[in-house]
Structures are given as structure tokens and as C-alpha cells.
Amino acid sequence: MATALTICLAVRARLRHDHAMMIRRFAAATVLALLLFGSGPAIAAPPRARHPAVAQPAPIPLADTVRVALETSLGTITVDLDGKHAPVSTANFLHYVDTRRFDGIVFYRAMHLAWGDQPNGLIQAGLRDPRRLFAPIAHEPTTQTGLTHTTGAISMARNGPGTATANFSILLSDLTGLDADPKAADPDLALGYAAFGRVVAGMDVARKIWDAPLSPTLGEGVMRGQMLADPVKVLTVRRVPLP
């Protein structure tokens, strides 16, 4: 009898654990979908009605890996862009770098997810002046590139697929729910986000940005409470040589 009761209790505990994990995974996917798939001005495509976007230049050959340093007011974040596997997103990012349009932008958002090991979430920056945007780029799903949204990944922010311009996120934790999921019924979740490189130095700087005070009032809808009270300025963004 005692053995049967022990087994029963163990099974019930396992079921409770599995149920909790399922709820956590569902909550994570739901929150990420709400927070990241165009639910607010922080990642919405800037209005282009009065200021049409400038056309992208003809594609140029890319190195397999291109290193870029983002010098911020809190330190430098260095990223390696994957020109081999994500050429469209990488070329787009470099177009903004080479034309100096990223100079003076800010990290304006820090998304804090309450579950899991901390820090859990991402930071976001970009160009929010519609007069300085280039045309949106084609979407590169992770099913195509083979890349994934793990800690340190840099990924294009967007509304719907094919709307990404000059806003990007750096992940402070593994958020593979942002990868493309072909089995998802929602087309946005099915296509996911476009990761195109990763941080190779300066994750401590990214953590400082993530830790910066948040405004309780800035932002709309689910974005409220995710906006930095004092955005962190990006002084320059430049290509740097690989070692």
C-alpha cells in the first residue's frame, strides 16, 4: 500500500511539474509573440507616408563574417555578422553602418521576462527617424539561415515579415521561441525573427543596458514599462577587422 501511495504521489508530482513546464512554455511563447511581433511603437515600422524610404543599393559580395563595434555611452559591444548564412540582414545592417546612419541612435528598450534564470530578455536599439530609413528587407527565417536565437544573438526587429529596416535586438538569454516554427498556425510565429549574428565581446555592456532604469509610463500597450527612462546612446557603429 505504501509503495502504491508513493508511486501515486510521484506520478502526481511529475504531472504537476510537466503541467507547470507546459504553462511556462506557453506563457513564454505568448508573451514573446505579444511583446515582439509589432505590438507597439518600439518595434513598429516607422511611418513612411511623408518620408519614403530610400531604396536599398544593389547587393555587394559579403565576407562570411563581418565584425562591427557599437560604441555606446556605457562601453563597446562587438558583434560578428553572419554574411554567409544571413546575407540580406547582414548587408542591410552594414548599409546603415557604412552610411553612418547608426551613429547617434539609442538603445531604448529592455524587455525583462520574469521567468527563468536572469537576465532573461533582450535590449533593443535602432533608427527611428523615418527620413533616414532605407527600404524594408526580405525576411530571412531561421529555417533558411540555420541560425538561432540564443544568448548574444543579434536579430532584426520588425512588424510583419518583410518590414524590417533599422531596428535590432540583442538577446540576454536563450529565446528560441523567436526562431521560425513551421508547425505554428500563426504565420508570424511560423516565420519567426531573423537572427543574423552574435555578440563576441561586450555582453557586460549589454547587461548594463538591460539593468538600466525603466520608465513606468513610457510605451504603449504591452510595451509600457519596457522603455528605458534614459535611453543609452550609441556613439558610433563601425566595421572592425577580424583578428
Q: What is the pLDDT of residues 44-72, one digit of tens each?
A: 333 344 445 655 555 567 999 999 999 99
Nearest one of 142, 129, 27, 125 to 82, comparing CA atoms:
142
What pTM was computed for the model?
Answer: 0.81
pLDDT value of residue 56:
58
Residue 36 has pLDDT above 70, yes or no: no
Total number of domains constituting the chain: 1
State pLDDT tens for residues 66-116: 999 999 999 999 999 999 999 999 999 999 999 999 999 999 999 999 999
Instruction: Decide if pLDDT at 30 tops 80.
Output: no
What is the extent of the structural domain holding 166? 2-240
Which whole-number Å values give the CA distances from 5 to 9, 17, 122, in the listed order? Answer: 6, 18, 45
Q: Residue 101 sits in a domain of what CATH number?
A: 2.40.100.10
**Residues 165, 52 contacting (CB under 8 angstroms):** no
Answer for the pair 71, 197: CB distance below 8 angstroms, yes or no. Answer: no
What is the spatial distance between Cα 196 and Cα 91, in angstroms, rounded to a whole number? 10
The tens digit of pLDDT for each residue in 194-220 reads: 999 999 999 999 999 999 999 999 988
pLDDT for the residue numbered 219: 87
Instruction: Note the pLDDT of residue 37.
Output: 42
Average pLDDT of the chain is: 84
143-164 average pLDDT score? 96
Q: What angle do CA 33, 34, 36 make, to 5 degrees?
A: 65
Cα-Cα-Cα-Cα torsion 137, 139, 144, 146, nearest 10 degrees, comes to 90
Strands (E), the chain: 65-72, 75-82, 106-112, 121-126, 153-156, 167-171, 194-201, 227-240
Grade residue 5 by pLDDT with cuts at 50, 70 and 90. Answer: very low
